[in-house]
Structure 1
């Protein structure tokens, strides 16, 4: 405020001086105009100095000036200096980020809000075939043209990574992960998982081959044990009991082999050729009858059909998934428990299959691992109930093939809810 007061006093002084000189010369108006002209000339001169400093010599010391112009020059100079320091720090930070990205073996690609390429590291050049001279500013889908990647990119659901072959080498398997940041910009990372993919394929082949090889001797062994079982009355009691135990364990091994073969088929076969509209009423009724037979009428099992929609999927696979959930409910709940099989609509426009019981429940700490192969909450009890530890893994793979998710809700003493959620695209 003091500077502004000084400028006003300066203007008033020049106007008064000009008017006084003009009055002495009998031209007061001309004198006032002359005083104002002198003040305007001074202001324009300072404005010209500001312009020349900002455009021609922005890094030099500011021009010398008095009053409000001197304060303005000083403030601008301090602001420029702080901005230069900030820009220097940002450039150093960006340089370190680029250097660290260059050192990474994974591809890193930065996209703007429109999906156009802004920057990428050298690994992206080797892994994705991006060329600095030609590809900068291009849309990512113009260069990575795999339909799977385009769908993944446009869907904007990046919680799970995408696995595809490399666009420049079909022998190389890449895993893409996209992250949103800033003003709707995207960071694309690609990792070479060829070795892990081959190890996983070797594991699948090993399990499938071992399962096939075990199937024949188990069938032969089961046949002979069944024959000896028919002659149990003619055998000593101890031998008859041993044959019965061998039959039980052979049957358990056969169930395990069958589940392993089913898992291998679900992992390898991704065709979905047998998918067709399914009516869930008859399917749930069939599963209920099988579950009652397993329960030996010791449980109450009901069906609730709260949706008229049909599900597009494989009847055999869906029967396997629902049966596993229902059979688990029978095995792991005490006699007298109530089990409900429900088909209903959900708020997202899709539908879901619920298998709910009022049994002992499951500690939430186990829920994240329930779909792992051979994972058991109570290993001793699972052995006595005949479980293989593969049922929920089969359910998970079946639902993945049907674009669905498995949600589990349970607490000790409050029963358990297993919900298979299907999107609207799977309904008819």
Structure 2
């Protein structure tokens, strides 16, 4: 098309030149003939450009271009075809946008689109109901200025969005929301907000039930255990068949008390706010104390318990909660390691944060059990729990304590060779003497 257009333009100029020369030959005024001819051609070109400008200003999708001859006819036709193609593409894109907006409008979950700076670009009607966003005055404003909750601002600014955030709705504190943020495109954010009020109420009912039942059972169980201990002190005055039964009853009562204590601790961890991070905990001294308790637990099994800890490395948090979590890991290592086995405890720090590793040479755990180890009452093998007196809540306690200290738990185990339980803490939780 370009070659045809250029050829037509060259032909027009040649014809104009020939005509001007003929007029100059007749009149004897070659220069004036060329000037007048070129001026006329320039005026004609300006007239075509004016027609083009007027058509472009008033043209509608189906408005045909003005008639033209030569290269200007090709220009009008080409622009018209480009305009039609552009209109078809715009119609297709608008159809896609309309379908997306229609589908998101029908969603009960809020969908919010944010730019790379966290400013509001678009949201569906559910976002107005759940978060109180208002159109159009909130457009372009930072979402953290409209959802005024400290945990949300910390969650958004952290950039760690692997886990959803749960908080009360800013427009109705009886509504509980689950917020998920996903990055896409050029660092834009897609925020999805779901109403989880029903699940939150069910979870709260479960927590209240466990806490209340555990508390109510504690008193009668204490009374039963007290009478059993008293009766066991006078077994010499009883028939021979009674001491064995009383010992079994006392053993099970102690196990029930241990279970209730763990349930109450879990309920407390779930019901209270995370600990104040202003007080660093001397982890080395804490581990030395737990190691002494572990050696007492080992008794005549003669486990080799080694501790390697950086004495200047401290961790912000609650000493009692950390003691509970670390002792669970270390005592489990002792319980599930055969006699004369080895348990290694290591506390260190690197560029990724602080770490506590508890390694044993015990029986190990099959890979299929690892994802569920921190579930409440999950048993790898019921016979193992009965032999060691475990409640099935130890690793659940560990998980909750680590979450309250911004940590996480990794487990690596090989059946027959042992296990390594590693707690990871971010650098923000670490301090030194």
> What is the TM-score normalised by the length of structure 2?
0.89
Distance 1:307 1:58 in 2: 79
Asked whether the equivalents of residues 405 and 421 of structure 1 are also in contact (C-alpha less than 8 Å), the reply is: yes
Give the counterpart of 2:201 among 183, 198, 203: 198
Distance 2:154 2:356 in 1: 27
Q: Which residue of 1 aligns with 2:284?
A: 281
Partner SS state of residue 137, structure 1:
coil
Q: Which residue of 2 aligns with 1:150?
A: 153
Does residue 1:215 correspond to 2:218, yes or no?
A: yes
Partner SS state of residue 98, structure 1:
helix
Partner SS state of residue 186, structure 1:
strand
Does residue 1:44 correspond to 2:46, yes or no?
A: yes
Partner SS state of residue 263, structure 1:
helix
Q: Mapping of 1:59-98 within 5 angstroms? A: 59=61, 60-98=63-101
Q: Mapping of 1:155-174 within 5 angstroms? A: 155-174=158-177
Asked whether the equivalents of residues 23 and 31 of structure 1 are also in contact (C-alpha less than 8 Å), the reply is: no
Distance 1:221 1:8, change over 3 A: same
Task: Using the TM superposition, give the Cα deviation of residue 250 of structure 1 relative to its aligned residue in structure 2, in angstroms.
Answer: 1.7
Q: Which residue of 1 aligns with 2:230?
A: 227
Partner SS state of residue 188, structure 1:
strand
Unaligned runs of 5+ in 1: none
Give the counterpart of 1:326 among 330, 348, 355: 330
Partner SS state of residue 113, structure 2:
strand
Distance 1:50 1:412 in 2: 82
Q: Which residue of 2 aligns with 1:176?
A: 179
Does residue 1:385 correspond to 2:388, yes or no?
A: yes
Q: Which residue of 2 aligns with 1:55?
A: 57
Asked whether the equivalents of residues 275 and 314 of structure 1 are also in contact (C-alpha less than 8 Å), the reply is: no
Distance 1:88 1:231, change over 3 A: same
Task: Using the TM superposition, give the Cα deviation of residue 342 of structure 1 relative to its aligned residue in structure 2, in angstroms.
Answer: 0.9
Distance 1:357 1:31, change over 3 A: farther
Distance 2:71 2:360 in 1: 81
Task: Using the TM superposition, give the Cα deviation of residue 290 of structure 1 relative to its aligned residue in structure 2, in angstroms.
Answer: 1.7
Asked whether the equivalents of residues 274 and 405 of structure 2 are also in contact (C-alpha less than 8 Å), the reply is: no
Q: Which residue of 2 aligns with 1:422?
A: 425
Task: Using the TM superposition, give the Cα deviation of residue 305 of structure 1 relative to its aligned residue in structure 2, in angstroms.
Answer: 1.7
Distance 1:347 1:111 in 2: 32
Q: Which residue of 1 aligns with 2:134?
A: 131
Task: Using the TM superposition, give the Cα deviation of residue 301 of structure 1 relative to its aligned residue in structure 2, in angstroms.
Answer: 1.4
Q: Which residue of 2 aligns with 1:262?
A: 265
Asked whether the equivalents of residues 274 and 404 of structure 2 are also in contact (C-alpha less than 8 Å), the reply is: no
Give the counterpart of 1:122 among 121, 125, 128: 125
Give the counterpart of 1:369 among 369, 372, 383: 372
Partner SS state of residue 354, structure 1:
strand
Unaligned runs of 5+ in 2: none
Distance 1:380 1:71 in 2: 89
Partner SS state of residue 132, structure 1:
coil
Task: Using the TM superposition, give the Cα deviation of residue 329 of structure 1 relative to its aligned residue in structure 2, in angstroms.
Answer: 1.5
Distance 1:338 1:31 in 2: 111
Distance 1:3 1:367 in 2: 74
Deviations 1:342-394 (A, max 9, x none): 1111222x211111223343333322221111112222222222111111110
Distance 1:149 1:342 in 2: 35
Distance 1:159 1:70 in 2: 60
Of 17-26 and 202-211, more deviation after overlay is shown by: 17-26
Q: Which residue of 2 aligns with 1:313?
A: 317
Give the counterpart of 2:346 among 332, 335, 342: 342
